Amino acid sequence: MPDINQNPSETVSDDGRVDARQRRGQEYFIAATDEIGLGAVDAVADESAPRSQWGEAWRYLRRRPTFWVAAFLILLALLMAAVPSLFTSVDPRACTLSNSLGGPQAGHPFGFDRQGCDIYSRTIHGARASVSVGVLTTLAVVLIGTTFGAFAGFFGGWVDTILSRITDIFFAVPLVLAAIVVMQVFKEHRTILTVVVVLAIFGWTNIARITRGAVMGVKNEEFVTAARSMGASKMRTLGSHILPNAAAPIIVYATVALGTFIVAEATLSFLGIGLPTTVVSWGGDISAAQATLRTRPMVLFYPAIALALTVLSFILMGDVVRDALDPKSRKR
């Protein structure tokens, strides 16, 4: 057979078909031998230590603008709650009726409400009650829910049956409705701690279910079996090996739930059965601004937008943390 690289003309085989290998422009090309070798090309540098799950999560988070925006808003809300004097020196309870529904002035950028109180000062100081309720309730809910869910998922059997049925009973009761009914009992003794206790009693069920499922998915892993074979007790195995590896969904839900509890407190205060009127809160100010909604809607706008941005920041943080800890969710 002639060399096809030198003779590009077509040839006809014995059965009459044209040999496509010798058509013009379709000549064979054989690459030169690779002097490097596949072993060197496919080699992976292993000098550095492998990243942990949290290391990979932080690497993902720091490259996401959403994370930094949410972190900034959360930090701002926490600063307003912890040190409101950084933002204003005006007493939120110092009200002058002559300033009723007054517009913005020097030192009072948001104007005044119906009682003549500085709206800007009340918006800043209102963060303390709302954020405190959200943070404290979330801590209590995580403690109760994680305890119930971890024991139910780890021990199984009759322990799982009893704890799951208790969880179902509380899960069947709507959070806000239960809080409204119970708060009626504490009309004369309503404080931040009261609201936290009531919300925590009826708000731990979701995190208990999440923890139970996460623990059940981890307890049969090989490292748990290895820990048990080394003589680790059940409680040590649960606390030192299982819960740290099942913490990702718990952290994600807790971040989102914090915003939910802030909204729940605002709802109760808006209805007049949450924090008393002597406590400055966003929900209470929104409720008081109803009377001037048509004439001065900005009185309601400022505490409402502060509440919305705070809740949105925790929701955004929960979403981006979920994506960082669960790579599969990024593809959905």
In this structure, the chain runs to a length of 332
Of 53, 49, 52, give the one whose Cα is nearest residue 327: 53
* Per-residue pLDDT, 207: 92
- How many angstroms separate the CA atoms of 170 and 57, rounded? 34
Question: CA distances (Å), 239 to each of 33, 220, 224, 245, in order?
Answer: 57, 15, 11, 10
Taken in order 141, 147, 152, 154, the sign of the CA dihedral is: positive
Per-range mean pLDDT, top range of 78-82, 109-113, 183-187, 232-236: 78-82
Judged against a pLDDT cut of 70, whether residue 47 lies above it is answered with no
pLDDT tens by residue, 275-303? 888 888 898 888 888 888 888 888 889 99
* Per-residue pLDDT, 92: 87
pLDDT tens by residue, 29-42? 555 655 555 555 55
Judged against a pLDDT cut of 90, whether residue 113 lies above it is answered with no
Judged against a pLDDT cut of 60, whether residue 16 lies above it is answered with no
* Per-residue pLDDT, 6: 47
Mean pLDDT of the chain: 82
Of 314, 285, 277, give the one whose Cα is nearest residue 302: 285
**CB neighbourhood size of 145 (10 A):** 26
* Per-residue pLDDT, 305: 92
Interaxial angle between packed helices 192-203 and 175-183, expressed in degrees from 0 to 180 and rounded to the nearest 10: 140
Confidence class of residue 208 from pLDDT cuts 50, 70 and 90?
very high
Domain(s) of CATH 1.10.3720.10: residues in the chain: 55-331
Confidence class of residue 60 from pLDDT cuts 50, 70 and 90?
confident
* Per-residue pLDDT, 32: 60
* Per-residue pLDDT, 239: 83
Judged against a pLDDT cut of 70, whether residue 49 lies above it is answered with no
DSSP 172: T
* Per-residue pLDDT, 88: 87
- The CATH class of the 55-331 domain is mainly alpha
